[in-house]
A = this chain, B = another copy of it.
């Protein structure tokens, strides 16, 4: 428990161009209070108010209600007087009532956990005064009934008096609407609202035996105490436990004057940006509505008007509105209230200067007086983020380090994948939502089998392969499709991983969609989508649409290239790409990859006639048979490696030896099994018997990785032969190949020792055979927890480590990523897990293992090279963790390379700043 200074201030004032606090006082004033103070300080006309400190909240718990009120009584009274003096109203006055809001505000945001009471100061008498003042009786009574409801709920805790936990006010409102046979709240007349207020008060009386207080001070004190109380509710305590937030932070309470933009034609509300949020251009822009509250602008009931004249002209041109019509109906704020606009424009300039970033501000004009309600760094597109950052950098407002830290690496995604036209998106409603597994946009015709996908693609059609989930059997179809949609599986499902590798849009786990393969259709809600129907999918949001949405290919700007160069100057870690084909390697290099960190050789096994040879090898009963089949595979693998080495000329290429269990290569469908049997001249039953023999209960933990290479050394030999022969071949063309052979799934010292022995023997054989020697290294993939524990020993027989954090996460948590869909969503929703550990590296658990692995390996070899090639290698927070733990490189899918480069640079800068 922190010690409280009982002599210190309890209340911090803000408003009228000054404030007691500032933005750095979040621990004492909470996030909201500190920001309000800062805005006031820099001269923004924020509605005046005051913040009761978090210390008081803690003291409240220790001392109780009466003593707490005593402690703050005089300061709160002074605070209210301060509000009155600025607003020219009086708290408790019937004609010119001063209305205030009471809001919680903790150091960190706790969404939905804490309480708010608006319109405090209204009662049976002042409601009439307000009514007169705003010339809107309906508004006044609606405000009053809202006060009663919020006060009843928050302060009087009325829900506890009912059995079922339903809000009695909502019930009363619904009853009344039923009586009147009206559909919405908007249909209630002033008289209806007056009647509702009466009933609300009666509800309070009936349930609590008390009256709704007519005394504004009583309303205020009780609301403040209620907000303090809300910090200690079991709900909030549990939320903090789950999110590891300390209980002794406490919440601050903000009491602030209410302002209204709906006090007639001299009043208005609006939202504005200091730069263009879509393009990043330095153009002040925004929207407003006269005689309206802030939420009206957002709700879109009336068409909002433009803040600037230039914006208004442009808007009218797009909407096809004539200048005369524009002038009579759609005048900009700049034209309709030039004085207020001038003031606003000055503020936006000040704000940019102060925050040195694009601001998103909310304002209200109450009877000609401009109030700024909020300002914050404006949300922007990826393109705008890059442009604004580079502009500010060139303007000299921020330096390279700050530029880098301002970037949100993940937003670069938008610049790299095809995207939907913004307009198209806003008009359509998604029919289903899944996980945004691989970003980008795709529009195509639905197909349900890989065969159909290939068939249609060959006929020049764009298809979206829609499957319950995908497997190795679907690879050809996935390759043919422009998008992949699955109804099961997570962010790291087969579909997701493969699609990201292919740079292909993918949505996984769209559970609402039910596929009927027999009928060749899927159902979602009441829709039936048949094979050949067009759908569109946004892999960046996980949304699926009916029909064709317009997409466009993004262009990479000079700003982007410049930003990447600056990043590379600051990053300590290298960034490599996971790439299995020459095409992917080329793409990776174009995105700035400094090598290949993971080339999965097994994907090569699925193409064309290779899979036949692979299956022949699997069906072979003995080593001789396996060697015969492997001999067929050798030249094909060699060609793959030659292609990759050529693309990566002079850059290292980490090639992982075969990893998946052999059954993954066998055909699952009966017809394919029969086909295979025919090709091999054996019976289908023999094929099926083999498949049954190979079947595993937990393939994830089965006969795979180096367990294959150690039980069938001939497979390792063939792969090593292909790698080194390829390297020799390309070197004759003047290409520099730097192969790094990676042994997967090592868990014991003898496993890597045996693999190393096999690899070195084969290398000697190849070198002798071709009379040329290729330098290469041998590394271990660290995927099973035990590998970490014996990292000191593994390092003796390894030249480098590569953390396979996908599998390491699976085994450290005991989560199968293929099955986690059954509980992970619930765990995330309940807050048991803060993040999906397959998306964001679990630093506490998996991360500690990584750290241990690095430290132990470097105990054996101080300069030992360590990288990461799991999905986390392209996730910014995880990249930063890798930097801090001393990794030499990260490797990720080609499309994430720029993100990783930026994240690596940020990590360096952040570490230096600290």
Task: Flag if A701 contacts B810 (CB, 8 Å).
Answer: yes
Chain B residues within an 8 Å CB radius of A198: none
Task: Flag if A748 contacts B832 (CB, 8 Å).
Answer: yes
Contact with B along A822-845 (1 / 0, CB 8 A): 110011001111000000001011
In the assembled complex, the CB of A796 is this many whole angstroms from the nearest CB of chain B, namely 11
Task: Flag if A816 contacts B696 (CB, 8 Å).
Answer: yes
Interface membership of A700, Cβ < 8 A: yes
CA distance A754 to B829 in the complex (A): 13
| Count class of interface residues, chain A | 35 or more
Instruction: Name A783's contact: one of B814, B818, B848 (CB within 8 Å).
Output: B814
Task: Flag if B783 contacts A819 (CB, 8 Å).
Answer: no
The residue on B at minimum CB distance from A471 is: B697
In the assembled complex, the CB of A518 is this many whole angstroms from the nearest CB of chain B, namely 13
The residue on B at minimum CB distance from A848 is: B789
Task: Flag if B786 contacts A846 (CB, 8 Å).
Answer: yes
In the assembled complex, the CB of A304 is this many whole angstroms from the nearest CB of chain B, namely 44
Chain B CB within 10 Å, residue with most, of A705, A745, A807, A848:
A848
Task: Flag if B710 contacts A827 (CB, 8 Å).
Answer: yes
Chain B CB within 10 Å, residue with most, of A783, A831, A844:
A844
CA distance A819 to B696 in the complex (A): 6
Task: Flag if B790 contacts A844 (CB, 8 Å).
Answer: yes
Chain copies in complex: 2
Task: Flag if B750 contacts A698 (CB, 8 Å).
Answer: no
In the assembled complex, the CB of A372 is this many whole angstroms from the nearest CB of chain B, namely 40
Interface membership of A747, Cβ < 8 A: yes
Chain B residues within an 8 Å CB radius of A819: 696-699, 701-703
Chain B CB within 10 Å, residue with most, of A242, A700, A751, A753:
A700
Task: Flag if B785 contacts A812 (CB, 8 Å).
Answer: yes
Whether A849 contacts B697 in the complex (CB less than 8 A), given A783-B814, A819-B703, A826-B711, comes out as no
Within residues 836 to 881 of chain A, which ones have a CB less than 8 A from any CB in chain B? Answer: 842, 844-846, 848-849
List the 6 closest pairs (A to B, CB-CB), nearest first.
A701-B816, A698-B816, A784-B814, A702-B819, A786-B845, A697-B818
The residues of A with any CB-CB pair to B shorter than 8 Å are 241-242, 696-703, 705, 707, 710-711, 745, 747-748, 750-751, 753-754, 783-786, 789-790, 807, 810-816, 818-820, 822-823, 826-827, 830-833, 842, 844-846, 848-849
Apart from A710-B832, A747-B813, what 16 extra A-B contacts exist at CB < 8 Å?
Answer: A241-B753, A697-B700, A697-B818, A698-B818, A699-B819, A701-B816, A702-B816, A710-B827, A745-B814, A747-B815, A748-B832, A783-B814, A785-B845, A789-B812, A789-B848, A811-B811
23 pairs, CB–CB < 8 Å, chain A vs chain B: A241-B750, A242-B750, A696-B816, A697-B819, A698-B699, A698-B818, A699-B819, A700-B700, A701-B814, A701-B815, A701-B816, A702-B816, A703-B822, A707-B823, A711-B822, A747-B813, A784-B812, A785-B785, A785-B849, A786-B842, A789-B849, A790-B844, A807-B814
